[in-house]
Amino acid sequence: MIKDITIGQYLPGDSVVHRLDPRIKIILSTIYVIDLFLINSFLGYLYVAIFTALVILISKIPFKYIFKSLKPILWILIFTGVLNAFLTPGNVVAKVGPFSVTDKGLYLAAFMVIRIIFLIVGTSVLTLTTSPIALTDGIELLLNPFKKIGVPAHELAMMMTIALRFIPTLIDETDKIIKAQKARGADFESGNIINRAKNLIPILVPLFINSFRRADELALAMEARCYRGGEGRTRMKQFNINKNDYLALTVMLLFVVISILSRR
C-alpha cells in the first residue's frame, strides 16, 4: 500500500504536457479542481472522464500510475460513500439494521466518490509531469505579484516543493522500517484497532527521528551552497509561455464552458 502512493513523484518525459510551462500547468490544475466543484450532474463527470483520459494519453503516463494513486485512498472512498448513503435523507430503498439507505444518499455517495477520484487523478497528473524544481519556480513566479502585500513567495514555494519532494523519500523510509521491524518479529496485522495502533509506535519513532535528521542535513547542504533566500537569486532555466501553452489554456476554457453547460 505504501508503494502505491504517487503524490510527489515525477516521471521524466518529453510529451506535450511535460513541455508545458509549469505556471500554465498549475493554473490549469487549479481551474480543473474548481470545475469539479461546479459540476452537478453525472453527464458533466462523463465529460471530465473523457477530458482526463485524453490528457493522460497525451502525457504518455502509464495508467498503472494513475490507478496506483487511487489505492491509498480506497478506504476514504468507501467511508465517504457509506456516510453519504446512510446519512442523506430521502426515499428509503434498503435498511441495514437501524440504518436506512436512501435514493438521494446513493446518488450523492456516487457523486462524491467520483469527485474525489478526479481530484486525486488531476493532481497526480500535475506532479507526475512536472519536476520539483520547475514546480517550485512556477509557484514562486505565480506568487511574485503578491510580494507587494508582504507574501513571502519564494519561501512558500520552497516549503511546498520540499514537502512534495520528501513524500516519496518518507514513503521509502517507512517501507524500510516496516520491513526491518517485521524481520525482528513485529506483527502489524493481528489484534484489534488499539493493538494495531500501539504496534505503529516502533515505526513512527524512527520515522520522526530520520525526518528530523534529513531536515538538518538539508539545511546544512543549503547553507553550504550559500543559500540565503530568494532575494537576488537567478534561474538557470527561464520559462517562456509559447503557443502550446495558450492552446492548452484555450482547450481548458472550452472544457469549462462545456461543463457549465452540462449543469442545465
Query: What are the extents of the domains in the chain?
Result: 2-130+238-262
Cα–chain-centroid distance for residue 104? 29
pLDDT of residue 3: 53
Angstrom distances, CA of residue 33 to CA of 25, 29, 121, 236? 12, 6, 10, 31
Res 24: pLDDT? 92
Q: CB atoms < 10 A from the CB of 241, how many? A: 12
Residue 236's pLDDT is 67
Give CA–CA dist 72/131, Å, rounded. Answer: 22
Ranges assigned E (strand) in the chain: 92-96, 99-102
**pLDDT the model gives residue 25:** 92
The CA distance from 53 to 144, in Å, is: 33
Report DSSP letters for 167-224, one per residue. Answer: HHHHHHHHHHHHHHHHHTT--SSSS-HHHHHHHTHHHHHHHHHHHHHHHHHHHHHHHH
Per-residue confidence (pLDDT) for residue 9, from 0 to 100:
73
| Statement: the pTM of the whole predicted model exceeds 0.85 | no
Q: Give me the pLDDT at residue 235, please.
A: 66
Q: pLDDT tens digit string along 185-201?
A: 777 777 677 777 777 78
- Residues 156 and 185 sit within 8 Å (Cβ to Cβ): no
User: Which residue positions in the chain have pLDDT lower than 50?
Assistant: 1-2
Q: What is the pLDDT of residue 7?
A: 60
C-alpha cell at 203: 515505526
Distance from C-alpha of 245 to C-alpha of 191, rounded to nearest angstrom? 54
